[in-house]
Amino acid sequence: MYLLLAAHPDGAALQHLTPDGSPDPADPEPRVISAGELAGVVRGLEKHRPRWIWHRTQDWYPALLAAGVELERCYDLTLCGAILAHSEFTAHTAYAQTAEKRTQDDELQPPPRSLQPPSPPAEQGALFDAPRPGRAPRHTLEDLRADYAAQHEALSRAGTEAGTEPNRRQRLQLLLAAESAGAMIAAEMQHTGVPWREELHEQILADSLGPRPPFGHRPAKLEALTAELRQLLSSPSLNPDSPQELMRALHRNGIEVQSTRQWELKESSHPVIEPLLAFKKLSRLHTANGWAWLDAWVKDGRFQPEYVVGGVVSGRWASRGGGALQIPRQIRGAVHADPGHKLIVADASQLEPRVLVALAQDSRMAEAARDKDLYAGIAAQGFGGDRAKAKVALLGAIYGATTGESGRLMPQLARTYPRAVGYVEQAAREGEAGKTVTSRLGRSSPPPSGRWLQSQQSTTAEEQRRADSLARSRGRFTRNFVVQGSAADWAACWLAELRRRLRAMRADGTPAGELVFFLHDEVMVHCPDAAVADCVRAIEAAANAAKELLFGRIPVEFPVSVAVVDSYDQAK
């Protein structure tokens, strides 16, 4: 059963569809449901295990969860449309050719969050508020139905061009399902929240910073360090929170740094450096996760940020507000299981290097990966047992580090593992030529921007140098994209499989945990003590299932490291 849900001036509109997006002949007419009735109607229809189709999961699911309605599966038109618009697998389709493209030429990582605590999330119950009279929805039922039909048509044509792999459509279909499942998981994790002990957080702040200060004042330890900095720099009115003031004071004292980054400050032996580094560390704690952050983001023992699925072009998640993907080590002790519960923290060991082994089908590197420590295996085969050198070389190949130690070690890595190194080198050449590259399941890198293309039409020697630099930068981007994007594919399948297994445990009446946190290659499950062993098995089985979904039965393991702890700081 396929059910399309769209906004309507009187609440919501619901329509039964066929798998290809046509109105279901058995029940073709849309049904208008008032806001007050929606949760009950959805709860009743969920018994038939439909696939819900909607514009964005975040528009509907948080409010349904708040009303006690949990769903099994959905199709997120926005997330799936973005994949289909860019995918090499559907580039020949009308959907991709008419879609608006986004471009990205440099970083794969999400941008850093602001150090100032943002506004807390709004209440999620707005969906069931009374609608404004006569207010027209931005995306009508017919708009969404036509979009779904067009996406289905594009998917059905994936892999139909001559000479392409026969299973492209199946891989892309798996990616769309996993991405939509990820959207539901993100909403569920936001609803459940990370278990957070406020009194432990306050104790960490008091131990590190001193008693809670009045609003607008520095904590005692920061104030003491400020006084010390002013004295050592002979600057009685210095505000060390101001980068401009701090740089001027450093220069006046003969400390000729270009920035206040830690690595650069450490090059100076001036006595101010040690207290300055201490000030910067404590200041980050105070501004990013201090009392203001605690007041804004933790409520009733839960931290409930909003996750952004596919927020990075490679498919990695981002977050909106609260810094969910950057919980610093200093405060992880506040992430604490409820009484009678444990936190299970699991991360995929050396995920991206192992993904490269599978992508490249490098049998010799696969042999090195049979032990839990891939870097040690590589070191034994080609680097005289020096694990540190093996790690530097392999990560340099993945991230495009061609200078320094990585560049020096690259020839040895290429001689030992020509298939693996050749795979990322080919991806780099594609990027340098302005082409796109594609993850295992079919997420493709965005095309180069108009500015990039224009730069390649250089005429002068200086313009050519600039063009070559931009081409190499894009090559580093595409080199990493194929690996990071495929690792994101694996993680999406891991999450979806784990969610399915945890739901099955609950359906059987077995005590089960809840997914409460996800970061690239790490998951956290909060579960009753009695469910720990079953949840650990589910995590490990889901990881193996994800490997087989992406690559089949290959001789490469994707092990997960599991820690069963009371608090997050005990996990690593």
Give phi and psi for 271, each to the nearest 5.
-65, -15
Q: What are the extents of the domains in the chain? A: 1-192, 198-298, 352-481
pLDDT of res. 130: 37
Asked whether the predicted pLDDT for residue 396 surpasses 50, the reply is yes
Residue-wise DSSP of 89-155: GGTTSHHHHHSPP----S--SPPPPPSS--PPPPPSGGGGSPPPTTPPPSS-HHHHHHHHHHHHHHH
Mean pLDDT value across the chain: 90
Asked whether the predicted pLDDT for residue 194 surpasses 60, the reply is yes
Rounded Cα distance between 407 and 412, Å, is 10
Q: Which tens digits make up the pLDDT trace of 369-382?
A: 887 789 999 999 98
Asked whether the predicted pLDDT for residue 472 surpasses 50, the reply is yes
Asked whether the predicted pLDDT for residue 125 surpasses 50, the reply is no
CATH class, domain 352-481, is: mainly alpha
Topology agreement, domain 198-298 and domain 352-481: no
Q: Mean of the pLDDT values across residues 115-141?
A: 47
Rounded Cα distance between 413 and 429, Å, is 18
Q: Which tens digits make up the pLDDT trace of 287-306?
A: 999 999 999 999 999 999 99
For the question of whether the overall pTM of this predicted structure is more than 0.85, the answer is yes
Rounded Cα distance between 186 and 491, Å, is 13
Q: Who's near 207: CB < 8 A, 6+ residues apart?
A: none
- Report the run of H or E that residue 497 belongs to, with start and end: helix 461-507
Q: Which of 43-47, 81-85, 106-110, 504-508 has the lowest mean pLDDT?
A: 106-110
Instruction: Find tokens 């949990």 and name the residue.
Output: 70
Assigned CATH topology for domain 198-298: Taq DNA Polymerase; Chain T, domain 4 (1.20.1060)
Q: Mean of the pLDDT values across residues 25-40?
A: 95
Rounded Cα distance between 536 and 344, Å, is 7
Q: Mean of the pLDDT values across residues 98-109?
A: 60
Q: 57, 8 in Cβ contact below 8 A?
A: no
Q: What percent of the chain has pLDDT over 70?
A: 93
Rounded Cα distance between 270 and 277, Å, is 12
Asked whether the predicted pLDDT for residue 218 surpasses 90, the reply is yes
Q: Which tens digits make up the pLDDT trace of 246-259?
A: 999 999 999 999 99
Pick the more confident residue, 507 or 181: 181
